[in-house]
Amino acid sequence: MTTKMTSRQLHALETKDAIYRAAIDLFKKKGFENVLVENITSEAYTAKGTFYVHFKSKKDLLFHTFDKFDDIYTDAYEKVKEIPTFEERLLTFIEISYREIDAGGKEIPKALYSSTIFEDVPRLVDDERSLFKLILEMTQFGIETGELSDKETAEFYRDIIKIQITGMDYLWCISSEEMDFSQYARESIRICLQGLKKL
């Protein structure tokens, strides 16, 4: 049973989203390190105290991007979950997800990957992230269809794909080249799968 949100709860969500969007716009224009909380609240037409109701810090706000990305991954999975083969399901999932992430630009992912942001973050590779739960579901499917060997666990395959995803995300962030990130990501995972399917 879904609980209907009160107008106060809806307003709080709208305010949080307005602060987040204002911050992201500023990060893209000026870079994460050059934006102050005061700049964000001014851009969002809200009080500084309101910022701290929703976020502990600029870093905490930036980490909210993980939730936004996980929404992208969840939506992408809904579009691919009926594809009958593991490989095409995973590759299409990657392509759809990364097309939307690419459309948002590199500035925010780049800030997420920077060493100053990741002093205290295991969240990037946390197995509980929606992304990696979905990858695990797909690797379990791959074992069931026989596309992946049952000599290894679904978690093993997920972890290898996780390493590939983390590496390609980082390379995309630091690259000065223009690229079609969704196609780059799809091809990277396709090559990774070639090796995994031989195990």
Give Cβ neighbours of residue 1 (< 8 Å, ≥ 6 apart).
none
Give the DSSP letter of residue 2.
Answer: P
Of 66-80, 107-121, 128-142, 180-194, the poorest mean pLDDT is in 107-121
What average pLDDT does the segment 47-56 reach?
94
Of residues 3 and 19, the one with the higher pLDDT is 19
Domain segments of the chain as ranges: 1-55, 58-196
Report the distance separating Cα 14 and Cα 8, nearest Å.
10
What average pLDDT does the segment 8-22 reach?
89
Radius of gyration, CA atoms only, the chain: 19
Report the distance separating Cα 23 and Cα 149, nearest Å.
45
Helix (H) or strand (E) holding 83: none
pLDDT classification of 115: cutoffs 50, 70, 90: very low
Question: Do 20 and 64 meet the contact criterion of CB atoms below 8 Å apart?
Answer: yes
- pLDDT higher than 90, residue 139: yes
Of 39-43, 56-60, 146-150, the poorest mean pLDDT is in 56-60
58-196: CATH class = mainly alpha
Among 155, 141, 153, 139, residue whose Cα is nearest residue 189: 139
- Per-residue pLDDT tens digits for 143-182: 999 999 999 999 999 999 999 998 898 888 888 778 889 9
pTM: 0.82
- pLDDT higher than 60, residue 188: yes
Report the distance separating Cα 90 and Cα 193, nearest Å.
10
Question: Do 46 and 19 meet the contact criterion of CB atoms below 8 Å apart?
Answer: yes
- pLDDT higher than 60, residue 2: no
Find how far residue 55's CA is from the centre of its chain: 19
1-55: CATH class = mainly alpha
Of residues 133 and 171, the one with the higher pLDDT is 133
- pLDDT higher than 50, residue 1: no
Q: Name residue 139's amino acid.
A: T
% of the chain exceeding 90 in pLDDT: 55
